Structure 1
Amino acid sequence: MKVLIITYYWPPAGGSGVQRWLKFVKYLQGFGIEPIVYTVDNPSYALQDESLIDEVPNNIEVLRQPIWEPNNLLGKKKQTSAGFLSANPSFTGKILQYVRANYFIPDARKFWIKPSVKFLSNYIENNKVDVVITTGPPHSMHLIGLELKKKLNVKWISDFRDPWTEIDYFHQLPLTKKAIAKHHKHEQEVLRNSDAVLVVGKTMKDKYKSFNNNIHVVTNGFDRSLNQEKSILDKKFSITHIGLMNDDRNPKILWKVLNEIISKNKEFKDDFILKLIGKVSSGCMDSIKEFQLNSNVEIIDYVPHEKVQEYQKKSQVLLLALNDVPSAKGIITGKIFEYLIAKRPILAIAPIDGDLSEIISETNSGKVIDFDDEIGLKTTILEMYKQYKVGDLNVNSIGVEKFHRKALTEELSKIVKNL
């Protein structure tokens, strides 16, 4: 059985966007499915990780076609955020944001749709393909699948790594009513015409089930052995955040609580280190400075994926800070699964009734604090610090194995074969 996977992100792309389908492709052949990957020939990736190229199976076919992207024309520089909003745009910046939001729907990769449909129509007519799979964002990938469905009546699965109109930054875009309506129209047309829909969480499934009755939750996961040697932990009381920390994800409640603890507890101040590994926005840096935390903060720029795990395993506490946005309940950041395998206590600032909280609760892997619960956050940090001081800061997580990429690929293979 052969599946054609249409994805913008593919090695050497770095960051979270590439991980999901790179890992599925890695394991699909073990479940009787031969993947064919269709991706861009000349991508403009914000992050690159050459080490991921080694994870692509040598015997799979990778089709590449050039793409024209208007980003350089519009003055957009490479960046790490999925969105393109800046906290304080100039007048010119506001104009460019408006143009990008309203004239490049669903996104700036829309110009790849027509040439891709033409190329892939020819390929499918001359080669065996049982199922087409599109993964977004960018959601223009789904419009390629939609056109192939209409033109060739292929079996088609749309995979939503993130939601479309419910994505965390959508409400901040300078969209006209006409543009918003167009996004919703495209999204619903994709959902209604897909033979199956994949989502990463229950909240997203609930949002989409009125448009399609064949929706499956297949989460992201981890791809390392559960039986790892224990690392030597950081000597200091380290709280580590790995990944992009943009203005939307700026946990001011944490900075405030840490400032209060440090100002009253010199021993904590001497023991404590906050490690931010990845890109940190200027807004976050301003907040850290405002709350006088600079001397306790270590910032490490982007590091390759295989090195990230070492930081995770050594940290006393692993920090997750979700975007405080209307769609927060449905956000399941990919790093949660990497955190699970590290087997260190997780401290998450997120909705206590959201999808992320459910995962942390069912795996007994940490503590979730709501966005405005200062008392709960301070109590939790001090309790973790107390356990650290007596050498008893540990976590006994359970049921983690179901999030291994191989187990998740087995779930995916059943969905594909059932079509």
Structure 2
Amino acid sequence: MKKVLIISSAFYPDPAVASVRMTQWAKHLPEFGWMPIVACRNYGHESTGGEWEAQFPYGVEKIYLDSTAGSGRPKLASSCPRAKVIVLGKKIIECLPIYIPDVSKKYWSKYKEKVSDIVKKFEPDLVLTTSPPHSVHLVGLNLKKEFPSIPWVADFRDPFMIDNRFKPRGLRRLRFLGYSRFERAVYDESDMVIHAIPAQQRYAHGKWPHNKTKFQLVENGCPHGLLDSIAQCSSRKKETTKKICIVGNRGKDEIVKVARAVELLNRDGQDVELGLVGRECSGVSLVENILKNKFVYHGFLSHDEALKIMVDSDVLVSALSRERSKSWALSSKLFEYFSTGIPVLSINGTRADLELSAEVVNCRNLKHPTVSTISDSFCELLNESRLDGNAFFTKYNRRVQSRKVAGLFDGLIGP
């Protein structure tokens, strides 16, 4: 079986969204002739019992670049003073023109030699680096110089120079040429570039037309096991309480508006509960004060556990902040939302979100809505039936995408 070395900041069992794409690819690639070896950061998450074997029945070799979890994400509530200081410190560093393309450059520069040793030990047929953070591609550039015969694939899960979250702004614009040189190097030196976001694919075709034969679009998607979760949910007796759920990224002001909209529904005699899955933020306490026993905070769950909560809902909500809505990114959770067939309310969706939502009929898109507008939308969506999401699922399920990726890899290394 051919071997691919995947270099990623996060990987299973890390529940962060940054781990999902590579976890799903690694799960299915062996079915199509590619055995993954994963080199990633250690954030202190551990799998228990037979979880690893269940997730990767064909086996996956995972190597932590840092042996301890000391450099991982701080396990502190966002309301904790120390956590606020840490976040503020990171934001200050990110605003300074020190590290190109991002502050993770310090980490990846430290482990370039270790990754090189991994290549020598396992002799992979192909190397893949996946961003963000975009500095992970510095490792790919280094490996391409050291092992020029090994094809290198650069995977962009999010846009780079066209996205407000990553492009140089403020003081960082002083080193704009440095960011541009980094981007050009990745597109010139890699053997293939995979984009998850259609806008980044279009941008690359326009800016690097001489490299356009390298560019491939493999969007995000939904796990192959999602249908099983839906079937299990359908077999359970439906409760009288209607469930509205937000999973993943959300803006503080937006979730407070959603909570007040749910409060209005309950005042009007409906029995509606709001659930929230994801990292704790200051908005959680505000929502608790508004909804009391009509609010359930599930916490930061594993991807599989979050799916179970999702498919048991009556309406799913994506609520981005005004700033996040300006991004060119595509909210990856929407692929799972739409595959369930459950009615969806998208608040402040990005341009890419709006493009994707055009493929389904039971999604409402609202831009900077009032509380009453959100409440009215909930009334409509709660009265809609769950649709069959099979067509959307078939198009975007991760196993089908992994087969496409395996075919792209085969094309790079030849017979």
Give the TM-score normalised by the residue count of structure 1: 0.79
> 1:36, 1:62 within 8 Å by CA — same for their partners in 2?
yes
Q: Quote the offset at 1:142 in angstroms.
A: 0.9
> 2:328, 2:351 within 8 Å by CA — same for their partners in 1?
yes
Query: C-alpha offsets along residues 90-113 of structure 1, whole Å, 9 cap, x if unaligned?
Result: 6x9755532354344434442443
Per the alignment, do residues 376 and 282 of structure 1 end up closer, same or farther by CA in structure 2, a change over 3 Å counting? closer
Q: Residue 401 in 1 paired to residue 406 in 2? A: no
Q: Quote the offset at 1:29 in angstroms.
A: 1.7
* Secondary structure of 2:17's aligned partner: coil
Q: Quote the offset at 1:202 in angstroms.
A: 1.0
> 2:128, 2:155 within 8 Å by CA — same for their partners in 1?
yes
Q: Residue 250 in 1 paired to residue 245 in 2? A: no
Per the alignment, do residues 77 and 124 of structure 1 end up closer, same or farther by CA in structure 2, a change over 3 Å counting? closer
* Secondary structure of 1:242's aligned partner: strand
Q: Residue 367 in 1 paired to residue 369 in 2? A: no
Structure 2 partner of 1:232: 237
Distance, in Å, in 2 between the alignment partners of 1:330 and 1:48 is 33
> 1:27, 1:406 within 8 Å by CA — same for their partners in 2?
yes
Q: Please list, as runs of the form range in 1=range in 2, the aligned pairs for 1:305-320 lying within 5 A after superposition.
A: 305-320=303-318
Query: C-alpha offsets along residues 177-203 of structure 1, whole Å, 9 cap, x if unaligned?
Result: 335554444233223322211122212
Structure 2 partner of 1:97: 91
Structure 2 partner of 1:62: 62
Q: Which deviates the most, 163-172 or 136-145? A: 163-172
Structure 2 partner of 1:195: 191
Q: Quote the offset at 1:237 in angstroms.
A: 2.1
> 1:199, 1:218 within 8 Å by CA — same for their partners in 2?
yes
* Secondary structure of 2:140's aligned partner: helix
Query: C-alpha offsets along residues 276-318 of structure 1, whole Å, 9 cap, x if unaligned?
Result: 12223114644x478x444532222123333323222221111
From 196, 201, 207, give the equivalent of 2:203: 207
From 341, 344, 360, give the equivalent of 1:343: 341
Q: Of Structure 1 and Structure 2, which has the larger fraction of its residues in helix? A: 2
Structure 2 partner of 1:280: 280
Q: Quote the offset at 1:333 in angstroms.
A: 2.4
From 360, 378, 383, give the equivalent of 1:381: 378
* Secondary structure of 2:227's aligned partner: coil
- Unpaired segments of 5 or more residues in structure 1? none
Structure 2 partner of 1:145: 140
Distance, in Å, in 2 between the alignment partners of 1:336 and 1:80 is 26
Per the alignment, do residues 380 and 49 of structure 1 end up closer, same or farther by CA in structure 2, a change over 3 Å counting? farther
Structure 2 partner of 1:113: 108
Distance, in Å, in 2 between the alignment partners of 1:417 and 1:37 is 19
Distance, in Å, in 1 between the alignment partners of 2:76 and 2:204 is 30
Distance, in Å, in 2 between the alignment partners of 1:364 and 1:48 is 40
* Secondary structure of 1:330's aligned partner: coil
Structure 2 partner of 1:160: 156
Distance, in Å, in 1 between the alignment partners of 2:15 and 2:57 is 17
Distance, in Å, in 2 between the alignment partners of 1:118 and 1:12 is 25
Amino acid across the alignment from 1:150: K
Q: Please list, as runs of the form range in 1=range in 2, the aligned pairs for 1:177-196 lying within 5 A after superposition.
A: 177-179=173-175, 181-196=177-192
Amino acid across the alignment from 2:240: K
> 1:117, 1:144 within 8 Å by CA — same for their partners in 2?
yes
The root-mean-square deviation of aligned C-alpha atoms, in Å, is 3.6
Q: Quote the offset at 1:143 in angstroms.
A: 0.7
Q: Which deviates the most, 102-111 or 155-164? A: 102-111
Q: Which deviates the most, 360-369 or 2-11? A: 360-369
* Secondary structure of 2:346's aligned partner: strand
Per the alignment, do residues 300 and 122 of structure 1 end up closer, same or farther by CA in structure 2, a change over 3 Å counting? closer
Structure 1 partner of 2:12: 11
- Unpaired segments of 5 or more residues in structure 2? none
Distance, in Å, in 2 between the alignment partners of 1:418 and 1:355 is 29
Q: Quote the offset at 1:329 in angstroms.
A: 5.7
Q: Which deviates the most, 57-66 or 27-36? A: 57-66
* Secondary structure of 1:233's aligned partner: coil
Distance, in Å, in 2 between the alignment partners of 1:226 and 1:93 is 38
> 1:223, 1:404 within 8 Å by CA — same for their partners in 2?
yes
Q: Quote the offset at 1:168 in angstroms.
A: 5.8
Per the alignment, do residues 177 and 367 of structure 1 end up closer, same or farther by CA in structure 2, a change over 3 Å counting? same
Structure 2 partner of 1:324: 322
> 1:220, 1:334 within 8 Å by CA — same for their partners in 2?
yes
Structure 1 partner of 2:27: 26
Amino acid across the alignment from 1:267: G
Q: Which deviates the most, 180-189 or 146-155? A: 180-189
Distance, in Å, in 2 between the alignment partners of 1:79 and 1:296 is 26
Q: Quote the offset at 1:23 in angstroms.
A: 1.4
Per the alignment, do residues 123 and 96 of structure 1 end up closer, same or farther by CA in structure 2, a change over 3 Å counting? closer
> 2:288, 2:295 within 8 Å by CA — same for their partners in 1?
no
* Secondary structure of 1:411's aligned partner: helix
Structure 2 partner of 1:303: 301
Provide the identity percentage: 22
Query: C-alpha offsets along residues 60-89 of structure 1, whole Å, 9 cap, x if unaligned?
Result: 4334433799969xxx834699xxxx9x96
